[in-house]
Amino acid sequence: MALAWRGERIERLTIGHPSAAAAAASLDLDAATTDRRNLPAVVADLVDRLQRYSDGETVSFDDVPVDLSHLTPFQLKVVRACRKINRGRTRTYGELAVAAGSPGASRAVGSVMAKNRLPIIIPCHRVVGAGGSLGGFSAPDGLGMKQRMLRLEGHVTIAAKPRRAHKALLR
């Protein structure tokens, strides 16, 4: 994982990389890590929570101050509704669209989730497709990572939809 922040607000979080250098590179940061003794209190607290989350503890990220200034009013509504999805729960893209006040905007919700700069804090992994599919996930290892995160949170994981077998008539 790697974090980027400005002042007391978290701007970016990236997850699922094979090394610290790869995580830092994904945020266009130097590979050198910041000395933990010099972290702002908000950042140090978040690092601690993320470590506990990764260890399987129940941790809340509801109060983490984040920078959402890049979002449109619609995107902001979607992100705020997504932050209300509790650990171990999921919502479909359509349900999240309704919660954001835009019924019928499930594809637009999917687009907002795909561009999420703050996974885990804004729990886009808890948003799934209709009919039992996982939908998508833009972190490295994609749907595998999404399944692991949901399992970590105690959710009975939804299986990725199996591809339909092609049938051919042989004569």
Catalytic residues: 124
Between CA 115 and CA 128, with CA 82 as vertex, the angle to 5 degrees is: 75
Residue 4's Cβ-count burial label (10 Å; 0-12, 13-18, 19+) is middle
78 DSSP 8-state letter? H
Residue 100's Cβ-count burial label (10 Å; 0-12, 13-18, 19+) is buried
Spatial CB neighbours of 16, under 8 Å, sequence gap ≥ 6: 139, 140, 141, 145
How close are the terminal C-alpha atoms of the chain, in Å?
55
